[in-house]
């Protein structure tokens, strides 16, 4: 893909002498070492300017989010990832598995109360659940919210469901698609590198298996998101390889909706207590923003939605990311339970006007979107009177 950057950007980049940055603004595909240079060597403000320019140009300065509910059907999991504070082993006193009827009730209430546009449904790898449980779960959720998109299950969950129920990944995906599954969640991997995964999540599927599930889903007409969890024990080259592999899969089997960099929150996780994490963790905000910017430029023309995930970044860093290549805040995420579990609590989420205000502060025109980035409506603009009303109430 050949791009025609404005003259001011070309001149700005040429003055840096950074070949990787120069290639990126012209739409040339970058190899992992070049993506790594964007993360580690490119002059920060020029990198930010390039990424922000293409973010706004690609999306027409429409910053977006969806109104969504985060619902978990079980926290029972046998994979025992060191970075996760959400899961509980089978038999644990805090373990739960919600019945399909209970999940459907939660969904129905959320649709009535919040007019949610998307159900984000995930859970742990629970070996006690049959395929019938999942099919009933999808069926009842779709009946409870027939006009609401169902974005559910990570690639890890799909693979585990297939293995534990004696079916192929394709059979599981086809069954779920036919019942109304609209898209896959992006979780299920951290960094697409075997050595990193071996250290932080040795029981999880391999990076190759993760990508194969997404490829299979795309070929069946099921689009998906893709995340990358960073800020733990990875090196910048691992981040670069992850972005590169995501781009290669999108070229091979298109279907990714968005790319979501997720900052690791140590909280009360086992990984956060290790010496390895303390020695390797990168806690500076510039690292976060460089990753967002590098992802924007390395994925140009392939995945044009880069999410500033406020749940893991926090509000201010997410807003900064909106000036460094991100164009979206994800969603309201009412009742998010996985990342917030690192702090021993679940978040109530954010109201649409909060997210719209964050976008306005970052210079974007706020839009409410659906799961597939169809822009639906402009949120009501905030006014001084609205802010005063909020302060008084």
Q: Which of 70, 27, 24, 59 is nearest to 326 (CA)?
A: 59
Average pLDDT over residues 278-282: 90
What's the mean per-residue pLDDT of the chain? 92
Write a three-state SS string for 125-194: CCCCCCHHHHHHHHHHHHHHCCCCEEEECCHHHHHHHHHHHCCCHHHHHHHHHHHCCCEECCCCCCCCCH
Q: Per-domain residue ranges for the chain?
A: 60-392
Q: Give this prediction's pTM.
A: 0.93
pLDDT by residue (tens digit) across 98-107?
Answer: 999 999 999 9
Q: Does domain 60-392 match CATH 3.40.1010.10? A: no
Q: Tell me, what's the pLDDT at 321? A: 98
Q: Per residue in 377-393, pLDDT tens?
A: 998 755 544 444 443 33
Q: Is the pLDDT of residue 269 over 70?
A: yes
Q: How confident is the model at residue 342 (pLDDT cuts 50, 70, 90)?
A: low
Q: How far apart are CA 268 and CA 306, in angstroms?
A: 28
Going by their DSSP bridges, the two strands 118-122 and 375-377 should be labelled as unpaired
pLDDT of 337 = 60
- β-strand partners of 66: 331
Alpha-carbon distance of 173 to 161, in angstroms, equals 10
Quickly state the pLDDT bin for 174 (edges 50, 70, 90): very high
């Amino acid at each position: 893909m050949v791009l025609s950057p404005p003259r001011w950007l070309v001149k700005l980049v040429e003055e840096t002498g950074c070949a990787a940055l120069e290639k990126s603004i012209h739409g040339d595909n970058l190899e992992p070492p070049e993506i790594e240079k964007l993360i580690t060597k490119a002059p920060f403000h020029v990198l930010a300017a390039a990424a922000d320019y293409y973010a706004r140009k690609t999306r027409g300065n429409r910053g977006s989010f969806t109104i969504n509910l985060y619902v978990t059907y079980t926290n029972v999991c046998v994979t025992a990832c060191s970075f996760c504070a959400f899961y509980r082993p089978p038999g644990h006193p805090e373990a739960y598995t919600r019945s399909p009827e209970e999940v459907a009730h939660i969904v129905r209430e959320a649709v009535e109360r919040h007019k949610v546009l998307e159900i984000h449904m995930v859970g742990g790898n629970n070996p006690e659940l049959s395929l019938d449980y999942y099919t009933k779960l999808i069926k009842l959720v779709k009946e409870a919210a027939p006009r609401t998109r169902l974005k559910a299950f990570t690639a890890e969950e799909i693979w585990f469901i297939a293995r534990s129920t004696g079916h192929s990944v394709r059979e599981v995906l086809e069954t779920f698609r036919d019942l109304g599954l609209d898209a896959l969640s992006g979780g299920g991997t951290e960094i697409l590198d075997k050595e990193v995964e071996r250290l932080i999540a040795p029981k999880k599927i391999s990076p190759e298996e993760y990508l194969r599930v997404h490829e299979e889903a795309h070929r069946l007409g099921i689009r998906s998101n893709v995340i990358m969890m960073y800020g733990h024990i990875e090196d910048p080259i691992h981040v670069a390889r992850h972005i590169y592999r995501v781009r290669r899969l999108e070229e091979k089997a298109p279907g990714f909706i968005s790319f979501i960099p997720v900052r690791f929150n140590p909280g009360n996780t086992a990984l956060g207590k290790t010496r390895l994490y303390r020695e390797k963790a990168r806690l500076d905000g510039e690292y976060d923003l460089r990753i967002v910017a590098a992802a924007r430029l390395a994925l140009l023309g392939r995945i044009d939605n880069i999410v500033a995930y406020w749940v893991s970044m926090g509000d201010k860093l997410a807003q900064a990311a909106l000036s460094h290549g991100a164009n979206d805040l994800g969603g309201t995420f009412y009742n998010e339970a996985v990342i917030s579990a690192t702090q021993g609590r679940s978040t109530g989420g954010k109201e649409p006007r909060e997210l719209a205000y964050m976008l306005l502060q970052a210079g974007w025109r706020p839009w409410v979107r659906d799961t597939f980035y169809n822009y639906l409506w402009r949120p009501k603009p905030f006014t001084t009177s609205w802010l005063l009303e909020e302060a008084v109430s």
